[in-house]
Structures are given as C-alpha cells and as structure tokens.
Structure 1
Amino acid sequence: MKLMRLGAPQEETPAVLTDDGRLLDLTTLTSDIDGTFLAGGGIRRIRAALETGELPEVAQGDGLRIGPPVARPGKIVCVGLNYRDHAAETGAAVPKRPVVFMKDPSTVVGPYDEVLVPRGSTRTDWEVELAVVIGATARYLETPRAARECIAGYAVSHDVSEREFQLDFSSQWDLGKSCETFNPLGPWLVNADAVPDPQALGLRLSVNGEPRQDGHTKDMIFDVAYLVWYLSQYMVLRPGDVINTGTPAGVALGLPGSPYLRPGDTVELSIDGLGSQRQTFAQA
C-alpha cells in the first residue's frame, strides 16, 4: 500500500494508492495519517477496507497537491555519516556508533513543495535519504530483530542542509538542519510489509538534471533494524516519529568545486519502490 495525504498545507486528507493505480479516499477510516492512526492498527484497517471494497475513489485526485504522507511527526531523528562513501568524501572517520542528531519536525513539507534557501546561506546542500516511520512505541528494545515490529513503513526523505550553519556556527548540527522547509517527505508512506528488505534499495538524486547521488541502502554502516534498536536505548520512539537514516556520497560538501544550491535550482530524487520527489528552490 502507498499511503498519501492530499490537499493544501494543513488541510490534507488521507488517501491510499492501490497497486492497480486507483486513488481511494480514507476519510471514512480516519481524519488523517498520524501517530494515533498508525498505533491503532491503521494499516491493518486499510487492508481490511480494501478487501471489502468499501473505500470510494478520490474526486479530482489528479489536481490535488501531494503533502507529506505523515502528519505532525513528534520528532525527526537523523543519523549522520551512515554510508562509508559519504564519510570518506567529507573526510570523516567511519563512526563506531551511530551519529545522532535531531531535526525540527516543522521542517516537513510535501515532496513537490518549494524549498527555501535561508537568508544568509551560501552552502545549502542536498541529501537523499531513506526515512523510517515508526508505527508502535519502541522503548529499550531487546534486539534489532524486535525493531521490525515497530516500523510502520518507509518513505523518501530529502534532508536539506546548510553546511555553514551546520558545521561552522555551532558544535551541534541542528542550526543547519532545521531551517524552514528543509525536509520534503513522500510522496508515499509504503507499509513495511511491502518492503521486504530495506537494505536492498537504490537511492538517486540530481540537481538541474545533473546526477549527483547514486547509492544503495546495502552500503549503510548501521542498518535500519539496528538504528531503531539503538535509538530505543536512549529515547522513546513513538508512532509517527521519523528516522532519517543517512545519505550516500555525492553531496555538494564532498564534491570539490560543486556549486551549492541557489534559488531557481531544481532537485529530483527517488528511492526504489518508494517514489520520487521534485523541488524548486526559492529565496527565503
């Protein structure tokens, strides 16, 4: 299943895109796709409604904006330097433990929404990432295997970053990660059962038609199950939370002479089976 939220910002309504291409309305089941719905067996309820054929089609779905597939995540937990080639291109050592930082949840926007280059920015950068959406509370999980029961699904995430703010202005990374619109998410939340192996996905990103990133989740230093288990030892992961799992090589920071993003630039990114995004950048 591909769960979606359609409509103007803050007015999105839930929908599901079926395998045969039908766009069905979920408002008879829930007012939104959020942590409460996911924790309450929402994906199971959608599956049951699909089997009985009780969901109506979305009226004029083609003309609606696609919003982020999860409403109001409680937190966005990010993992840095989680691909060996990305660590190498930035001159960093391969980490022995996950590098963890937080991102303001209000950065989340739709996959085709405009992204703003912050005022004073000279080093706005791109990062395609696999996002994990939590579907059940994860607290002190016993093993990485147990983490699989806590994952609702996966999505494409664009972890936009301002490198000067991130690396030069503070010992923390949050300043360069939490600027307005800095986390396009979607277009879909694909349920975990439909992604049998999250370590078997290709990731790609281009800037103004020029390929920049071409990686694969098999090259993660710490895999998805390990990350969810690890994070649960230090914080409670709750339904609707999002984990950005890191980016492969090819960011502007690691490409000598590569221009950083400017207003008017267009970025396109995709992950196998999870859909694609396209954003045009504008000045804040």
Structure 2
Amino acid sequence: MIYRDIEIVRGNKTYKLSDNPITFNRLKVKTYNVSDIEREHNYESIDRLNGRFNTGIIETSRIATLVVEYEVDKIAHAIHLRNQLADLFRDKFYIRELVPSLVEVPFQTFGDPDFEFPLNYASGMQLELKLTNIGDYDTNQTSGEIEITFETSEKPYYESIGRSLQLEKVDSPYLWSSDMGINLPVNSDRRQYTFTNTDSGNVYYHGTQGINQFTFDRVITIVLGADTKKFSWNLEHSEVMTIEGLNLKAGDVIKFNGLQTYRNGVSIDDYTRMSQPFFEHGYNYFTINQTVQKITFDMKFYYK
C-alpha cells in the first residue's frame, strides 16, 4: 500500500519513486526530510573593542534525506538497485512530495481490495536537488531500507512550481498551497501581473526570499507605447533601468530576464546600465518614463 510518495522532475520528464521505468515498483518512501538552510556568518574584530561584528550572512545550501524501503525478487536485483538509484537521481532535478488527501480508511469488508489512498501534492513549492550519497545497505537481503542524501543544486530556497502569470489566470489551482500565503480573492490586486496602458503601478511579490540576484527566475516584458531615444523605468528595490543610444519604436518588445536585456529578441546590453529588476516581499512600486502598451511580470516566488 502506497501512503506517501515523491515525484522526481528532471527536464520534461516526471517519475514517481513507487513506479517508474528505472527502479520499477521496487521502492516506497518511508521518510523524506529537508534540513534548515546552512548559513555562513562572517565576522570582523576591531582593535581595542570587545566582541566581534557580523559583516554578513551567506545562505549556502540545504540537505534533504530520503529513506526508502525496497523489496525485490532476487538478490541480484538488490545489487542492481544502487546503480538504478544513481540513474534515477542523476543530474539536477526537483522533488515534489505526494501525501494522502484522506487520513482515514473507510470501512471495508472481508475480501475487499486494499484501500488505495489518493495522493495529492503536499505543497506548491519544490527544491532543486542533486544526489550526494546513496547509503550502504545489505545486498544479501531482498528487502530493507536505503538512506539517500541530496543537497540543493544552486539556490537553497524553495521555489513555487507555478508562475505569477498562472496565479493571475487562476487556471491551475493545484500549483498553489496554503503555506505560500496566497489565499486571496480571485480579483485581488495581489494577483495582478499584467498592466496595460500604464506608466506606474504596484506588483505584489509573495515569496519570503527576495529576488535579488541573477539566478532567480523572472522575465519582465514591456511593449513600448511611443518612439524614444531614451527609455527608463524604476522598480522600488532595483536600480533605475535605462536603455539609451537606440532609436526605440512604439511596439518594440523589451525583455529583462535578470541577466540580460533584449529588444525584439536581440540582446542590447551595450545600451543599458546592466541593471535588472529585483523584488522584495510585498508590493513593489514601479514607474516608467512613458505610457507603455503593456508590462508583464512573469516570475517564480521563492521561500526560505
């Protein structure tokens, strides 16, 4: 009976631990736990002063531990499991937890098949992980437990599975969960990520970890409303973003992806100050030096 499971998402492929083409149906989740963020505190001392001064904190990684139960028909299959697990968890991947939506087993009579718990996603958040260790286990046994350890690949933060534009459309409710702080009316301005014929507004960032470096996923798209030789806009927690030295036209599509700036699909970094949009939890006020046809904020939300 499967009462807990995980999904492994790598690229465009998704596997369940309990049933997949690599380990077949030989594995079940016993426990899955994620540690707190590992932090490195930097300190400096000053002559003739007692104590020390904290000059910064770097949040580096998280550790995830998965304990699986295995059951195979032959000892040879137990030996094969190590390589199969390494294949299942190769490269970078996301893990999503599946848990029962019902916690009570309905009344059953003798001879009824085992009740199958319906499993749903535990959260609308996921972690990008990589394999660090497959623990030792007794390959002379056809059943047992294996402890598998992962660490976060790049960012130590949870990220939303859904994107802001999906939240705005409210077309995928399964992508969101109550622990993300998004229990809002459908028409709430905290769900608005598309603005038309505007030169200012407020966009709401739900995550508890700010988008403040290039590794965070966001794409801001602006359709210009007028010809100009200098376009600039400001976002509350960012440096002013300016494009200068080009003959920009009404209808040009400008994109900021956190790393580069594009006009109609062509990089124009040489004509910018290399500044990119940053977001902090809550409302982020923006202003633009012209009325644009449209501006959209397409991003993930990140959580500590």
Please classify the TM superposition score into its range, dividing by the shorter chain length: under 0.3
The structure where helix makes up a greater share of residues is: 1
The structure where strand makes up a greater share of residues is: 2
TM-score (norm 1): 0.22
TM-score (norm 2): 0.21
Which entry has the higher C-alpha Rg, 1 or 2? 2
Which protein, 1 or 2, shows the higher relative CO under an 8 Å CA cutoff with sep ≥ 6?
1
